[in-house]
Structure 1
Amino acid sequence: MNKVLFNFHDLVLIVVIIEGLILSLMTIFTKRNLSNLLLGLFLFLSAAIAFDVLIYWCVPLRDILAEMSPALFFVMGFAYFLQGPMLYWYTKSLLYRDFHWKRSDLLHLIPFFVYPFFIYFSVYRHDEEYQLVLIYDYLTMSRLDHFAVYIWAQKLSPLIYGIFAIKQMVSYRRRIENTYSDTTHIDFSWLNLLLWLFLLAWLWALATHVLAQFTPVSVSSAMGVTNNYLTLMLVNALVVYSLSHSGVFSGIHMETPAPASEPEVVESLPPTYGELLKNAMQENRFYMVVDITLEQLADKLAISPKALSATINSDFGQNFFEFINYYRVEHAKQLLMNNLDKNLDMQSVMQESGFNSKSAFHRFFKKFTQMTPGQFRKKYLTEAEPDGKHANA
């Protein structure tokens, strides 16, 4: 990577820079919303980091820029402290339709605001000769206490926010089960995969820094080059995902009540709510609406979503997802017991019970009956035969 100007490995970084800049502008201005703004800023920061790596490790380019102004080598350092928060906020903006910046979010920007002061007192207040030493002798620079802390913070910041983003995904999975009765239309697998891959890339960068202290330069250099290729693939994958999966997240409110398994102080609710809900499910069969949501059911019952969620949690010990599918399973059981002679196929049973996917049908049927639909029908048929009720089945 340090033999000729713009060797093949350098070209990878140049591609990341060009793609990052172009795609960030396209993303921000093509469809103006918060998610696209955050994605565009993330892509711009990825380009800035690639530029920071390029000018330091491409020796011919480093010589040219060092002669122009050593100060150029520390301009892009802020990007490392913004990349993590941007991916974290981007994830939240996809998952929660009412996500917006709050005053408390400024806390995530503290490292960014501290960086200019750090660079001034560590670099810019010194003469150019000292700055050139920092540029050309990375080992010496990294052993200075304040720069050692800075480099560790630089490597750890995106890694920490990658973990935060994945925790948001885990929380989202739990919350959608308290909002939707059918989640087959919500596909977050690709975003989850991308977050894990970014986390892996940032973990790889941290490992490269750690191993550089104990291994030959060739080892850490090879790991650094590998990370550049990984960054290129991830930036492209993130853009492709964002363009092709922009509509798969229905989004839920950030204040959606948490599942029953999470400790929560619930206000005292009228005891009639439980009976109201039970009667409504039996008489009106709201569970037959394939994609019914917590908000829609609450609207039909003329109570608040929070009160409905609390009632389901406290009176039935279930979340909304389990509650609706419990009634669907009960309906499916009745269909199977009442149609032993008609050989009703399982696809029809599934659809007539309000289920939208075979996997959900079989999963919840087994959850609530400890057997598959086929086993249930066979068992009930066997039990019915001695009475002569279904001898011809």
Structure 2
Amino acid sequence: MNVDFFLSVMSWISVCVSLLLAFFLITVKTQNKLANRLFASYLLLFIIDDIGIFINDDFIQGYLNLEFFRWTTCSLVMPIFFLYIVSVCFAGFRFKTKHLIHTIPFIFTNVVFLFRLYLLSDVEKMQFYNHRSQMPEFYFFQLLLAVQIVLYSIGVFLVLKKYKELYQENYTNPKTSIFKWLFQISLIFFILYYLSIAKNVLRFTDFEQLWIWANVVMQFLSLIVTCWFVLKALNHPELFRGIDSKLELTRDILPKKSENVIEVYEEKSEIITSQILALKKYMTEKEPFLDPSLTIQQLSNQIEIPVRDLSVLINHHINQHFFDFVNEYRIQKAMNILKDPSKSQFTVLEILYEVGFNSKSSFNTSFKKYTNLTPTAYRNTL
């Protein structure tokens, strides 16, 4: 089996798996249609790029402009992936006119190609195609793609950082699987894309055999990642839920520090103190934390404090994320159950569900954070 045949087989498998997944994402009935369609679009762009391996020179000679245009679709891959991440993180995300800014590299490249390639004679186009690795336009396009990867990788991880902060300030469900999933897929994808930058550098060198094997390795890794995504999506459908896109971080709600603001806060100190006492009393007596899906909006409705004020109260004045604030009460209740001799027959799994957790790993992590012991070790010390 020669290298070209091996590369072709892997490419066909990758294209078929991606095509099936894209079809599934487009047709499946779900509330998160936009995110699914964006990822389906990403997969289709990946397929368009991948099918270049199967296109022979005879076909290309008859459709050179189409082949050049196929190259330019690569400049849409990063924007689509970025918008996919945003749409999964924030359930209220919708397309707006401002998002057209992401198409600028694609439009600009096609404008350049219009005057430098599309309008050339067939002979000139074929000459460019055969010597593309030495052409400045091709250098420029490869550089543009590399810059896109760097900029969008920064953008994606900044979005994930904001998502994690908002999640901690407004939600208590210990399952942070959405963030972990998005972080994993982003990290893996950008590792592959940075490797692709290194691979593309080889295109402009004399190491042709190394270039071929680099393509084989990249195709193999892409196939593994695509199959991994399929399995993950099938086994964990809950990964496609987002958080309210209208939520704000506490640091954005609070006014900037000034003398007037300090005076206002001093005047309100008694009110804030009474609100904190009322909140803690409510948490102890009514135990709203037993709801595993409790959000700051729900607690706001129960205690009748505006959600913005409650967010500032917990995240700023109590100096805890809402996530940690609620989990502390859950852990305290769990500790009381573990201390109670009459409940010694309760298993750790029963206790974690009893106090509002819905994941053993999250319960163990939170319990160890507050006690430096696992629940089992804590029980054994009593």
Q: How far is 1:194 from its partner?
A: 2.7
Aligned ranges 1:64-75 → 2 under 5 Å: 64-75=58-69
Q: 1:184 aligns with which of 175, 180, 201?
A: 175
1:286 is matched with 288
2:10 is matched with 12
AA paired with 2:173?
D
Preserved contact between residue 185 and residue 248 of structure 1 (Cα < 8 Å)? no
Distance 1:241 1:351 in 2: 25
Q: 1:254 aligns with which of 239, 245, 248?
A: 245
Q: 1:31 aligns with which of 10, 29, 32?
A: 29
Distance 1:366 1:43 in 2: 41
2:366 is matched with 364
Aligned ranges 1:193-272 → 2 under 5 Å: 193-214=184-205, 216-258=207-249, 263-266=251-254, 271=272, 272=274
Q: How far is 1:311 from its partner?
A: 0.9
Distance 1:230 1:375 in 2: 42
AA paired with 1:132?
M
Preserved contact between residue 92 and residue 246 of structure 2 (Cα < 8 Å)? no
Q: How far is 1:349 from its partner?
A: 5.1
Distance 1:30 1:345 in 2: 41
Q: Percent identity?
A: 24
Report SS of the residue matched to 2:242.
Answer: coil
Q: How far is 1:118 from its partner?
A: 1.2
Preserved contact between residue 74 and residue 145 of structure 2 (Cα < 8 Å)? yes
Larger Rg: 1
AA paired with 1:42?
Y
Q: How far is 1:69 from its partner?
A: 3.7
Superposed CA deviations along residues 199-229 of structure 1, whole A, max 9, x for unmatched, are 1221121001223444511111210222223
Q: Residues 253 and 283 of structure 1: is their aligned pair in 2 closer, same or farther, counting only changes over 3 Å? A: same
Distance 2:8 2:329 in 1: 60
Distance 1:131 1:378 in 2: 77
Alignment partner of 1:320 is 2:318:
no
Distance 1:224 1:95 in 2: 33
1:130 is matched with 124
2:79 is matched with 85
2:277 is matched with 275
Q: 2:95 aligns with which of 92, 101, 105?
A: 101
Preserved contact between residue 289 and residue 329 of structure 2 (Cα < 8 Å)? yes
1:164 is matched with 155
AA paired with 1:90?
Y
Preserved contact between residue 163 and residue 199 of structure 1 (Cα < 8 Å)? no
Q: Which moved more, 1:288-297 or 1:202-211?
A: 288-297
Distance 1:208 1:240 in 2: 28
Superposed CA deviations along residues 18-48 of structure 1, whole A, max 9, x for unmatched, are 5544543443233372122112211211111
Preserved contact between residue 336 and residue 344 of structure 1 (Cα < 8 Å)? no
Pairs aligned (count): 365
Alignment partner of 1:117 is 2:119:
no
Preserved contact between residue 80 and residue 158 of structure 1 (Cα < 8 Å)? no
Distance 1:250 1:19 in 2: 24
1:140 is matched with 134
Distance 2:17 2:83 in 1: 22
Q: Residues 282 and 22 of structure 1: is their aligned pair in 2 closer, same or farther, counting only changes over 3 Å? A: closer
Preserved contact between residue 89 and residue 242 of structure 2 (Cα < 8 Å)? yes
Q: How far is 1:273 from its partner?
A: 3.1
Q: How far is 1:245 from its partner?
A: 2.7
Unaligned runs of 5+ in 1: 56-60, 382-393
Superposed CA deviations along residues 142-196 of structure 1, whole A, max 9, x for unmatched, are xx2x431211112442454344334433433333222222323745544433322
Distance 1:9 1:354 in 2: 51
Q: TM-score, normalised by structure 2?
A: 0.82
Q: TM-score, normalised by structure 1?
A: 0.80
Q: Residues 369 and 211 of structure 1: is their aligned pair in 2 closer, same or farther, counting only changes over 3 Å? A: same
Unaligned runs of 5+ in 2: 256-264
Preserved contact between residue 181 and residue 292 of structure 1 (Cα < 8 Å)? yes
AA paired with 1:301?
I
Distance 2:153 2:233 in 1: 17
Superposed CA deviations along residues 234-265 of structure 1, whole A, max 9, x for unmatched, are 3343344334433234421123333x6xx445
